Amino acid sequence: MEKIIVHGGNQLTGQVQIEGAKNAVLPILAASILGETGQTRLTNVPILSDVYTMNNVLRFLNMDVQFDEDSRSVDIDASGNVSGEAPFEYVSKMRASIVVMGPLLARLGRARVAMPGGCAIGTRPIDLHLKGFEALGAHVEQQDGNVIATADHLTGADIYLDFPSVGATENIMMAACLADGTTTLENVAREPEIVDLANILNKMGAKVFGAGTEMIRIEGVDHMHGVDHHVVQDRIEAGTFMVAAALTHGDVLVADAIPEHNKPLISKLREMGADVIVSEDGVRVIGPDRLKPADVKTLPYPGFPTDMQPQVSVLQLAAEGTSSLTETVFENRFMHLEELRRMNAKFQIEGQTVALFGPTQFSGAEVAATDLRAAAALVLAGLVADGYTQVTNLKYLDRGYYDFHGKLAALGAEVKRVEVPENDEVILKSSKIK
Ligand X SMILES: CC(=O)N[C@H]1[C@@H](OP(=O)(O)OP(=O)(O)OC[C@H]2O[C@@H](n3ccc(=O)[nH]c3=O)[C@H](O)[C@@H]2O)O[C@H](CO)[C@@H](O)[C@@H]1O
Ligand Y SMILES: C=C(OP(=O)(O)O)C(=O)O
Peptide bond into 421 cis (omega under 30): no
Give, as ranges, the residues between 167 and 206 that touch ligand X (CB under 6 A): 167-168, 189
Q: Edge-to-edge, what's the strand order for the sheet holding 2-7?
A: 366-368, 388-392, 2-7, 414-419
125 labeled binding residue: yes
Q: Could you give the 3-state DSSP secondary structure of residue 277?
A: strand
Residues that bind ligand Y (CB under 6 A): 23, 95-96, 307, 372-373, 400
Q: For ligand X, which is the closer residue by CB, 250 or 300?
A: 300
- By rule CB under 6 A, what count of residues binds ligand X? 20
Q: In what order do the strands lie in the sheet with 110-114?
A: 85-86, 110-114, 146-150, 139-143
Strand-pair category, 366-368 with 296-297: unpaired
The verdict on 307 binding ligand X (CB under 6 A) reads: yes
Q: Is 57 in the site for ligand X (CB under 6 A)?
A: no
Residues between 134 and 173 with contacts to ligand X, criterion CB under 6 A: 163, 165-168
128 marked among binding-site residues: yes
Q: Is 177 a catalytic residue?
A: no
User: CA torsion 55→57→58→60, rounded to 10°?
Assistant: 120
Q: Show the site string, 1-40: x = touches ligand X by CB under 6 A, - = not.
A: ----------------------x--x--------------
Query: Is 126 annotated among the ligand-binding residues?
Result: yes
Choose one: 123-131, 134-142, 272-280, 319-327; the region binding ligand X (CB under 6 A).
123-131
Amino acid type, 303:
G
Closest CA to 159 of 140, 148, 173: 173
Counting Cβ atoms within 10 Å, is residue 80 exposed (0-12), middle (13-18) or buried (19+)?
A: exposed
Shortest Cβ distance from residue 117 to ligand X (Å)? Answer: 12
DSSP letters, 1-35, are -EEEEEE--PPPEEEEE--B-HHHHHHHHHHGGG-
Between CA 243 and CA 171 the distance in angstroms is 32
Candidates 48, 96, 198, 245; binder of ligand X (CB under 6 A) is 96
Question: Nearer to ligand X by C-beta: 113 or 286?
Answer: 113
Comparing every residue's Cβ against ligand Y, the nearest one is 307
Give Cβ neighbours of residue 263 (< 8 Å, ≥ 6 apart).
302
Nearest-approach distance from CB 18 to ligand X, in angstroms? 16
Q: Which is nearer to ligand X, 11 or 332 (CB)?
A: 332
Q: Binding site for phosphoenolpyruvate: what residues are annotated?
A: 22-23
Q: Binding site for UDP-N-acetyl-alpha-D-glucosamine: what residues are annotated?
A: 95, 124-128, 307, 329
Where does this chain bind ligand X (CB under 6 A)?
A: 23, 26, 96, 122, 124-129, 163, 165-168, 189, 306-307, 329-330
